[in-house]
């Protein structure tokens, strides 16, 4: 907490330490939401500019990490909305996986990089609101309340988005693969 106070008072070294500690998870969340490395790098830069400019307004009502998640998720969602790539990515999903008959064998013998590509394709099939909720819950491990706080939405909205995202992912996974999602 001392480092946050120091950074909010303009201590550049303290802010650099905050960056060092949090940049990995900011980039990770941004990448999972945008599913594009260049977009994630840009979102990460934007997030830290926002943190730097707004650190004085952070009131310690929630955890710093929750505040950073909120900034990251909102910045990444805004980047998706601005990007015309979203529609093309959804179409790429079907091309990447091939016809329905070919999908049963698509993951047989896949390595870690192939699995990342498949996960990216599956996440691309979700709408951005569902994607950010599933990333925060299933990948980042936040609970419903933390997601609600991070996104500034009602907890029931979180539940609904997660339910719909899981249903969509399960429908996509009916080609023989099994995906273990957290049960709540």
103 inside domain: yes
Is the whole model's pTM more than 0.75, yes or no?
Answer: no
The CATH number of the domain holding residue 158 is 1.10.1740.10
How many residues belong to the chain? 184
pLDDT of residue 90: 47
Per-residue pLDDT reduced to its tens digit, 103-121: 333 444 456 666 667 777 7
177 inside domain: no
78 inside domain: yes
In angstroms, the CA 173 to CA 176 distance is 7
What confidence tier does 180 reach under pLDDT thresholds 50, 70, 90? very low
Domain that holds residue 92: 2-172
pLDDT of residue 125: 85
What confidence tier does 123 reach under pLDDT thresholds 50, 70, 90? confident
119 inside domain: yes
In angstroms, the CA 182 to CA 80 distance is 26
pLDDT at 34 over 70: yes
Per-residue pLDDT reduced to its tens digit, 48-69: 999 999 998 888 787 899 899 9
184 inside domain: no
Residue 11: partners with Cβ closer than 8 Å, 6 or more residues away: none
142 inside domain: yes
Kindly report which listed range (37-46, 51-60, 67-76, 90-99) carries the lowest average pLDDT score.
90-99
154 inside domain: yes
49 inside domain: yes
Residue 126: partners with Cβ closer than 8 Å, 6 or more residues away: 134, 165, 168, 169
Residue % of the chain over a pLDDT of 90? 45
Average pLDDT over residues 59-84: 86
Residue % of the chain over a pLDDT of 70? 76
pLDDT of residue 58: 87
Q: At what angle do helices 12-34 and 37-54 cross, to 10 degrees?
A: 140
Number of domains in the chain: 1
């Amino acid at each position: 907490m001392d480092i946050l106070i120091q950074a909010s008072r303009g201590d550049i070294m303290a802010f650099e330490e905050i960056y060092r500690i949090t940049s990995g998870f900011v980039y990770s969340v941004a990448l999972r939401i945008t599913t594009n490395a260049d977009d994630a790098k840009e979102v990460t830069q934007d997030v830290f500019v926002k943190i730097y400019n707004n650190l004085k307004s952070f009131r310690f009502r929630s955890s710093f990490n929750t505040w950073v998640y909120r900034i990251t998720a909102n910045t990444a969602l805004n980047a998706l909305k601005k990007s015309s790539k979203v529609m093309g990515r959804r179409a790429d999903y079907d091309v990447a996986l091939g016809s329905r008959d070919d999908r049963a064998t698509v993951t047989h013998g896949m390595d870690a990089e192939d699995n990342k590509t498949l996960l990216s394709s599956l996440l691309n099939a979700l709408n951005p609101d569902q994607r950010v909720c599933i990333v925060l819950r299933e990948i980042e491990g936040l609970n419903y309340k933390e997601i609600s706080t991070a996104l500034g939405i009602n907890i029931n909205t979180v539940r609904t988005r997660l339910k719909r995202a899981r249903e969509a992912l399960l429908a996509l996974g009916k080609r023989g693969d099994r995906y273990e999602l957290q049960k709540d």
